[in-house]
Amino acid sequence: MIADASFLKSLFCGIIPESMAFPFPGPSRAEAEETLAILDTLKRFMRTVYEPQRGSLDSPISQEILTEAGSLGLFGLSLPRAYGGRQLSPTSFARILQELGALDPSLALIVRAHQTLGAHPLVRHGTVGQKARWLAKMASGQALAGYALTEESAGSDAAGVRTYARSEGTNWVLDGKKIWVTNGPIASVFTVFARTSPVEEGIKPKLTAFVIDRDDGIITNAGINMHGVRGVQVGTLLLENVHLDASRVLGTVGQGFMIAVETLNHARLASASAASGSARQLLDLSIRYARERAAFGRAIGDFGLIKDKIASMLSEVFALESMVFLTTGMLDGAGSDCSIESAACKVFGSEVLQRVAEGAGAIAAGRGFASGHAVERGLRDARHHLVLDGTNEVLRAFIALSGMQAPGRDLANVVKAMREPIKGFGLLGEFAVRKAKSALGRERLTRVHPLLNREVVLFEDYVSDLAKNAEKMLRRHGVAIAEMQYSQRRVADLAIDLYALAAVLSRTSRAIERRGEEGARREVDLACIFAASAEKRMAANVAGFDKNDDEQRKNAAARAYQDGAYPFELF
């Protein structure tokens, strides 16, 4: 992991590595053409196979549809060509997931969880023998793959894993229970994370990743009834006395934590890609409805407050899409480390989708409140993005602490710092030292089209604010920074807005270069709208570092925990 080859990490030091974000990346002509051909196939599949067979969108997607999706190749999109996958570039894969997110968020989740969560650990850490044994079946969709980390006692905090792998000679015996496994009820192979050190109070366990077949004795339940993405089956895995030989250990013993974290880093971008498609779909619905629905003798879209919602949705969807495809472009290229960028995309993506879904709900009003209406389902489906692949609360801490930590350190350290703030500080302390210089960039943004000069100044000013405040927070809180979640949130939100803004400026500049000022009118408008709203948020965040009611808020919550409930009765 080359920590410095990260756009966002550089911004934390006040350095703008412009060449990483400009010009706005895009696929080659041949790759674009191939991706469009896949999209065309996908749309035809949806029309001729999926739609006629789907039935209620609130019931699990049938095995027949999944089998057809498998023979089409949907389950091998990103998996290695050597094992029958398509090995699409990050950009093409994201584009397909975006479309899936628009067509059906449930199908998008089934497809991406299989590849980015279930199969990814094997792709990254499997031996040749392990890959040969499982990957071809996974790429064809014959075997769906599940990722089993979460447990009753281990959600955000993976160190709470209780599932225990006892060694017996060179073999392993596993006991435990995993919950919330996407595709669990229908998958046939699982990456299971178990502790290979005994439970000892206060001591972080060693985790190890295992590849386990359903036939090894895994029992799954029928899946839970969920609030949204009801086409997906998510369920429990029961491991009772499951005997495995050494060939099932993925990576090395004790490497499980790193594998789990690395997989989630990878999965987050897929979440944001799908979210951008779902948001686009809800926006399109809203645009159509605003034009068609009449009230007070006009189309409701004529009213200022409806226009305002549509404009916000447009600018946010535009920003999200730009951010996702800037990140995939970085990954296509030099293979920079995009774990912070991906986390930023996931947080921003899930929240943009949430806001767009709410906007769509407001526009659809009564109709959107009826069960089964596209907007009502859209609202429910949107929420899984907030939780899965790391909650947004945890990811904000992750973005802030990763951005502030010393160069060259492993990301797992950040998680350690969150768990053990005192010991963890050593990992973060060298931040100030590296502020000095970097060969990567400068403090100015020079490649944005002059039409956006105002936005450039805004961007540069707030990059400098981010760097100054990150350093100030480290100095002020020292050891305690890992506990300072209010400051972390401000730092993270600044970073997310700045990253979105950089992506928007880059994409809009490319549009102006290609199509001239008039031709790129729509992009320029949306860029300005997005910049103006980001400015308001960033200004509030910067001001908040020095003037805030953080302590009062903490105390209010602490008192409420003591009271055990809302403390008042009016009479």
Partner 1 sequence: MKILVPLKRVADPDNANKVKVTAGKLDTTGMQWKPNPFDEYAVETALRLTENGASTKVRLGEVIVLTVGPKEAETQLRGALATGADRAIRIDATDDDLDGDVVARAIRAVVEKEKPDLILVGKQAVDGDSNQVGQLLAEYLGWPQATFAGTIKSEGDTALLVGREVDGGTLTLRVTLPAVVSVDLRIVAPTSVSSKHSPTHTYADGVRFAALMAIMAAKKKPMVEFKLSELVSDAAAKIAYTTHELPPPRKAGIKVKDVAELVDKLRNEARVV
Interface ranges with ligand FAD (CB under 6 A):
113, 117, 147-150, 155-156, 180-182, 229, 234, 384, 387-388, 391, 393-394, 397, 418
Which two structure tokens, joined as six digits, stand for 568?
Answer: 């008042």
Antiparallel, parallel or unpaired: β 218-220 and 234-244: antiparallel
Residue 82 lies near partner 1 (rule: CB under 8 A) = no
**C-alpha distances in angstroms, 568 versus 300, 564, 565, 571?**
42, 12, 9, 9
Q: How far apart are CA 173 and CA 99, in angstroms?
A: 42
Residue 228: closest CA among 371, 68, 349, 42: 371
Nearest partner of 182 among 119, 241, 133, 124, judged by Cα: 119
Host H or E run for residue 190: strand 189-195
Between 396 and 507, name the residue whose CB sits nearer to ligand FAD: 396
Q: How far is the CB of 333 from ligand FAD (least distance, A)?
A: 30
Q: Is 28 in the site for partner 1 (CB under 8 A)?
A: no
Name the minimum Å distance from CB 296 to partner 1: 17
Would you count residue 501 as binding partner 1 (CB under 8 A)?
no
Name the segment binding partner 1 (CB under 8 A); options: 1-9, 33-41, 479-487, 546-554. 33-41
Rounded-to-integer distance, Cα 219 and Cα 335, Å: 39
Residue 506 has a CB neighbour count (10 Å cut-off) of 25
Nearest to 341 by CA among 355, 356, 328: 328
Residue 277 CB, nearest approach to partner 1 (Å)? 16
Interface with partner 1 by CB under 8 A: which range of 42-50, 265-273, 301-309, 338-346? Answer: 42-50
Q: Which is nearer to ligand FAD, 191 or 508 (CB)?
A: 191
353 lies in the binding site for partner 1 (CB under 8 A): no
Asked if residue 45 binds partner 1 (CB under 8 A), the reply is yes
Q: Residue 426: name the closest of 405, 400, 401 by CA.
A: 405
- The footprint of partner 1 on this chain (CB under 8 A) covers a number of residues equal to 19
Q: Does 73 bind partner 1 (CB under 8 A)?
A: yes
360 binds partner 1 (CB under 8 A): no
What residues contact residue 14 under an 8 Å CB cut-off, 6+ apart?
A: 435, 443, 463, 464, 466, 467, 468
Of 230, 231, 220, nearest to 46 by C-alpha is 231
DSSP string, 28-60: -HHHHHHHHHHHHHHHHHIIIIIHHHH--TTSP
DSSP β-bridge partners for residue 195:
164, 207
Contact partner at residue 480 from ligand FAD, partner 1, none, CB < 5 to 8 Å by partner kind: none
Q: Single out the residue of 2, 37, 295, 457 in contact with partner 1 (rule: CB under 8 A).
A: 37
Ranked by CB distance to ligand FAD, the top (closest) residue is 155
41 binds partner 1 (CB under 8 A): yes
Residue 53 binds to partner 1 (criterion: CB under 8 A): no
Which is closer to partner 1, CB of 40 or CB of 157? 40
Which of the listed partners (partner 1, ligand FAD, none) does 422 bind, with a CB threshold of 5 to 8 Å by partner kind? none
Using CB under 8 A as the binding rule, whether residue 36 contacts partner 1 is answered as: yes
- Give φ, ψ of 143 to 5 degrees: -125, 115
Question: Is 34 an interacting residue with respect to partner 1 (CB under 8 A)?
Answer: yes
Is residue 38 a contact point for partner 1 (CB under 8 A)?
yes
Contact 512, 451 (CB under 8 A): yes
Minimum distance of partner 1 from residue 33's CB (angstroms): 5
Q: Write out the residues near partner 1 by the rule CB under 8 A.
A: 30, 33-34, 36-38, 40-41, 44-45, 48, 71-74, 76-77, 84, 86
